[in-house]
A and B are shown apart, each in its own frame.
Chain A
């Protein structure tokens, strides 16, 4: 079963709100990822967690705060977002991130976020 689930499917939030996106996988994968995708663009990597530790932060603004409570769960906490942060947020997981092993990533359906 190659399933990654994400909640909520849609989220509308004001610029002063605090909200969280959730992601879950039960494939025993040890790596999890957050991507941001704007319309008609490829996914852009935001964060990578490997064995529950943050291993890559692609210079993402601090209004986005990731959290990995355990190897199956990944959260993205949102605070004081801007309208330009409106996008599809995709979660993914892979077996590992080990260099030169090139594990494929499995993606969730995404959360479509609108910031008003």
Chain B
């Protein structure tokens, strides 16, 4: 069965520090997709990135970067020069094929506190 593990339940860092959120996944599928979502205190999940299993290139978007390593089944997320607005719960997620459809299964999330 598919599984997503976010071992860090809660992290606190001081503003401007870099922080990495870990994500380890398990799947038997050869084609799969990985995602990161951000959920600020307002409650809405915000889509950050989607990666397919055939593309191991790292991605950078502003202060955000993602490191995908199939060899270790990991898809880690780094925030550089963190800001208070980055405080949120971050979910890593994995696609799971069910019949003719894909659905997403979420990790338990990492609550990130950026302290001013």
Contact = CB atoms under 8 A, between A and B. Distances in A.
Interface string B44-82: 111100101000000000000000000000000000000
Interface in A59-97: 88, 90, 92, 97
A interface, size bucket: 20 to 34
A112 B108 contact: no
A2 B50 CA distance: 15
Interface of B: 31-33, 35, 37, 42-47, 50, 52, 91, 95, 97-104, 106-109, 111
Contact of B102 (A43, A92, A103): A103
Interface majority SS (helix, strand, loop, mixed), chain B: strand
A42 B42 contact: no
A37 to B, nearest CB: 8
B88 to A, nearest CB: 13
B104 A105 contact: yes
A16 interface: no
Nearest to A33: B103
Contact of B101 (A90, A92, A97): A97
Given A109-B44, A112-B43, A102 B102 contact: yes
Contacts of B107: 42
Contacts of B102: 97-103
B42 to A, nearest CB: 7
Nearest to B106: A42
